[in-house]
């Protein structure tokens, strides 16, 4: 019986860990919903395994509650899922944050100089003029 | 339109009340008078307090068809789970999915729902969208090659619907769906 | 003597069911990590999960062998079978509406075709920012 417990425990743990990895990677909210639903089901299986080993009947209501929680949770998230812009669902690395700050700063500078250029009557063009424009 | 709307509603909802009481008794695991009474009270409170659409069931319960449905479903469920597990575990195999539309032949919500539920649990298919008014079911097939092609997958859903109808439908509904009555 | 044999048989059957259920839960985890698409991952989340849970509950029922708790286990299994397809369906529908389904990975996509045809019929032009990436 101990061997059965160990093997089942290892299988359930590995399955739950893989689902959590998907919950971290999954590019959208819905992938994470499915992954967490699997984690909840693995918890139900683990509690049932414990009840089977110890032959306890008082943890059975826990199984009922967990199955309801899993279902209601995933349906609620799916019901209110909204459109996420690309890249919203990921955790950015430090280099990416630095690169994005750099890019935003460059855009602000270009915007500021474009505004001053417009005020002076299109005399200066940063980064070259428009195509086909004749420079006098 | 009945003159006593509340009595009319109770009569059409009694099956739901019985079912909820059974669920309550199962939950406590103990068939005692207190449990049954409490279950009845709670079931009545739920069905009168929450307005749910009454289920329209005009069919007839056929034992043989029902047993055939359950048996076939159990076999398919076991087969399906192991097939999906093999696909998941087999290294370097990418399943190619497809979304197919199936036009169901019956005109009832109940049979549509039951066919959709059973099709989601058996080999290869998962219901993605159901259009109630036209009776269209859209299913996602996990692996086209394993299901034997797109037309085979479509036929499997239609067969599932036929088994559901043969288990629960009345003779008129069977005829309307185009399935002859078996002797 | 016979009572003891039945107990052993029940214990062995329960162990087999528990192992099968744990293996299916493990396969569900592997599947949800490996599959390429949102809809395929839903398959991994529905089918092995339901049967795995059913097997584990059967194993538990064989082990407990007392009347009261077994009925609650039957209830849990019936709930899972009724609600797992509904949850999968809602996730799939939300995936279609928020544009998370990549049509290029599918062999045939009749739902998007029908939706586009309905769009053209209702608004007289194909939808520019429909469910495409």
Q: Domains of chain C: which residue ranges?
A: 2-81
**For residue C72, which phi and psi values (nearest 5 degrees)?**
-65, -35
> What pLDDT score does B108 carry?
78
Average pLDDT over residues A14-30: 88
On chain C, the residues whose CB falls within 8 A of the CB of A52 are 14, 18, 59-60, 63-64
HSE of A57 in the Cβ direction (CA atoms, 13 Å)? 16
Does residue B138 share a domain with residue B89?
A: yes
Shortest Cα–Cα distance, B102 to chain C (Å)? 10
Q: Would you say the C-alpha torsion C75, C79, C82, C85 has a positive or negative sign?
A: negative
Does residue B44 share a domain with residue B91?
A: no
Does residue B55 sit within a domain? no
Does residue A129 sit within a domain? no
Q: Is A4 on the interface with C (CB under 8 A)?
A: yes
Average pLDDT over residues C9-13: 87
From residue B117, give the alpha-carbon distance in Å to each of A45, A109, C17, C53, C108.
Answer: 23, 58, 24, 17, 22
Does residue B106 share a domain with residue B70?
A: yes
Does residue A134 sit within a domain? no
Does residue B92 sit within a domain? yes
Does residue B88 sit within a domain? yes
> What pLDDT score does A17 carry?
94
The band of B19, judged by pLDDT with boundaries at 50, 70 and 90, is confident
| Local structure of residue B130 (DSSP, 8 states) | E
Does residue A58 share a domain with residue A6?
A: yes
Rounded Cα distance between B34 and C58, Å, is: 28
The band of A13, judged by pLDDT with boundaries at 50, 70 and 90, is very high
Does residue B118 sit within a domain? yes
Does residue B84 share a domain with residue B116?
A: yes
Question: Which B-chain residues 32-71 have CB contacts (< 8 A) with chain C?
Answer: none
Contacts 24+ apart (CB under 8 A), B45-52: B46/B20, B47/B13, B47/B16, B47/B17, B47/B20, B48/B9, B52/B16
Single out the residue of A37, B165, B129 nearest to residue C83, CA to CA: A37
The band of C131, judged by pLDDT with boundaries at 50, 70 and 90, is very low
Does residue A49 share a domain with residue A104?
A: no
> What pLDDT score does C132 carry?
42
> What pLDDT score does C122 carry?
74
On chain A, the residues whose CB falls within 8 A of the CB of C84 are 71
Shortest Cα–Cα distance, A19 to chain C (Å)? 5
Question: Which A-chain residues 80-109 have CB contacts (< 8 A) with chain C?
Answer: 81-84
The SS3 call for residue B91 is coil
Shortest Cα–Cα distance, B166 to chain A (Å)? 30
Does residue B94 share a domain with residue B165?
A: yes
Does residue A37 share a domain with residue A12?
A: yes
Shortest Cα–Cα distance, B182 to chain C (Å)? 29
The band of A19, judged by pLDDT with boundaries at 50, 70 and 90, is very high
**CB within 8 A of A4, min separation 6: which ones?**
C15, C18, C19
Does residue A114 share a domain with residue A56?
A: no
| Local structure of residue A62 (DSSP, 8 states) | H
- DSSP labels for C56-70? HHHHHHHHH--HHHH
Query: What are the tokens at A8?
Result: 């089942």
**CB within 8 A of C61, min separation 6: which ones?**
C70, C73, C74
The SS3 call for residue B108 is coil
Does residue B41 share a domain with residue B69?
A: no
Host domain of residue B143: 63-176
Does residue A74 share a domain with residue A104?
A: no
Residue scoring higher pLDDT (B45 or C105): B45
Of A66-70, B90-94, B175-179, C106-110, minimum mean pLDDT range:
C106-110
On chain B, the residues whose CB falls within 8 A of the CB of C71 are 25-27, 29
Does residue A101 share a domain with residue A70?
A: no
Average pLDDT over residues B41-51: 83
Does residue A85 sit within a domain? no
Does residue A44 share a domain with residue A12?
A: yes
Does residue A117 sit within a domain? yes
HSE of B25 in the Cβ direction (CA atoms, 13 Å)? 17
On chain B, the residues whose CB falls within 8 A of the CB of C107 are 96-98, 144, 150
The answer to whether the CB atoms of A18 and C75 lie below 8 A apart is no
Does residue B108 sit within a domain? yes
The SS3 call for residue B107 is coil
Rounded Cα distance between A29 and A31, Å, is: 6
Does residue B100 share a domain with residue B148?
A: yes
Contact partners for chain A, using 3 or more CB pairs closer than 8 A, are B, C
> What pLDDT score does A42 carry?
92
On chain C, the residues whose CB falls within 8 A of the CB of A35 are 32, 41, 45
Does residue A8 sit within a domain? yes
On chain C, the residues whose CB falls within 8 A of the CB of A1 are 11, 15
Does residue A60 share a domain with residue A39?
A: yes
Does residue A70 share a domain with residue A49?
A: yes
Complex ipTM, two decimals? 0.78
Burial A72-91 (b: 16+ CB within 10 A, else e): eebbebbeebeeeeeeebee
Q: Is B97 on the interface with C (CB under 8 A)?
A: yes
Host domain of residue A97: 90-122
Does residue B15 sit within a domain? yes
Shortest Cα–Cα distance, B73 to chain A (Å)? 22
Does residue A54 sit within a domain? yes
Does residue A31 sit within a domain? yes
| Local structure of residue C105 (DSSP, 8 states) | G
The answer to whether the CB atoms of B99 and C50 lie below 8 A apart is no
The answer to whether the CB atoms of C46 and B101 lie below 8 A apart is no
User: Quick check: A29 pLDDT over 50?
Assistant: yes
Average pLDDT over residues C97-115: 67
Residue ranges in chain A assigned as alpha helix (H): 2-25, 29-54, 60-79, 94-119
Does residue A10 share a domain with residue A65?
A: yes
| A45-98: pLDDT as tens digits | 999 999 888 888 888 888 888 988 988 988 888 888 766 666 665 666 777 778
Asked which of A53, A79, A105 is the last residue of a domain, the reply is A79
> What pLDDT score does A20 carry?
93
Number of domain units in chain A: 2
Does residue A111 share a domain with residue A61?
A: no
Does residue B167 share a domain with residue B140?
A: yes
Number of domain units in chain B: 2
């Amino acid at each position: 019986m101990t061997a059965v417990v160990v093997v089942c425990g290892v299988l359930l743990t590995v399955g739950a860990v893989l689902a959590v990895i998907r919950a971290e990677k999954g590019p959208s909210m819905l992938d994470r919903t499915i992954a967490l639903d699997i984690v909840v089901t693995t918890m139900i299986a683990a509690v049932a395994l414990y009840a089977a080993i110890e032959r306890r009947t008082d943890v059975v209501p826990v199984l009922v509650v967990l199955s309801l929680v899993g279902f209601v949770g995933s349906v609620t998230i799916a019901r209110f899922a909204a459109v996420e812009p690309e890249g919203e669902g990921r955790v950015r690395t430090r280099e990416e944050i630095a690169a994005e700050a750099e890019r935003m700063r460059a855009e602000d500078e270009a915007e500021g100089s474009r505004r001053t250029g417009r005020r002076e009557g299109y005399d200066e063009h940063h980064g070259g003029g428009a195509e086909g424009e004749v420079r006098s | 339109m009945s003159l006593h709307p509340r009595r009319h509603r109770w009569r059409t909802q009694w099956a739901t009340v019985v079912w909820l009481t059974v669920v309550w008794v199962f939950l406590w695991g103990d068939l005692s008078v207190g449990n049954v009474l409490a279950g009845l009270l709670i079931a009545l409170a739920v069905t009168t307090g929450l307005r749910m659409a009454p289920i329209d069931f005009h069919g007839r319960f056929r034992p043989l068809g029902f047993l055939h449905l359950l048996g076939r479903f159990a076999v398919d469920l076991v087969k399906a789970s192991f097939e999906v597990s093999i696909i998941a575990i087999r290294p370097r195999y990418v399943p190619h999915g497809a979304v197919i539309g199936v036009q169901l032949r019956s005109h009832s919500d109940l049979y549509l729902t039951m066919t959709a539920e059973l099709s989601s649990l058996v080999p290869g298919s998962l219901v993605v969208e159901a259009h109630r008014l036209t009776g269209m079911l859209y299913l996602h097939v996990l692996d086209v090659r394993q299901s034997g092609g797109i037309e085979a997958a479509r036929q499997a859903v239609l067969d599932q619907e036929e088994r559901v109808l043969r288990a629960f439908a009345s003779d008129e509904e069977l005829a309307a769906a185009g399935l002859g009555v078996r002797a | 003597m016979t009572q003891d044999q039945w107990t052993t048989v029940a214990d062995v059957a329960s162990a087999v069911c528990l192992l099968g259920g744990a293996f299916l839960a493990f396969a569900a985890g592997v599947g949800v990590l490996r599959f390429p698409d949102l809809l395929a991952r839903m398959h991994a989340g529905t089918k092995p999960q339901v049967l795995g849970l059913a097997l584990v509950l059967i194993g538990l029922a064989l082990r407990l062998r007392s009347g009261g708790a077994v009925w609650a286990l039957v209830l849990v299994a019936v709930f899972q079978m009724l609600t797992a397809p509904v949850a999968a369906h809602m996730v799939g529908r939300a995936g279609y509406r928020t544009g998370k389904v990549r049509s290029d990975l599918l062999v045939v996509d009749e739902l998007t075709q029908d939706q586009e045809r309905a769009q053209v019929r209702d608004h007289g032009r194909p939808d520019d920012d429909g469910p495409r990436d």
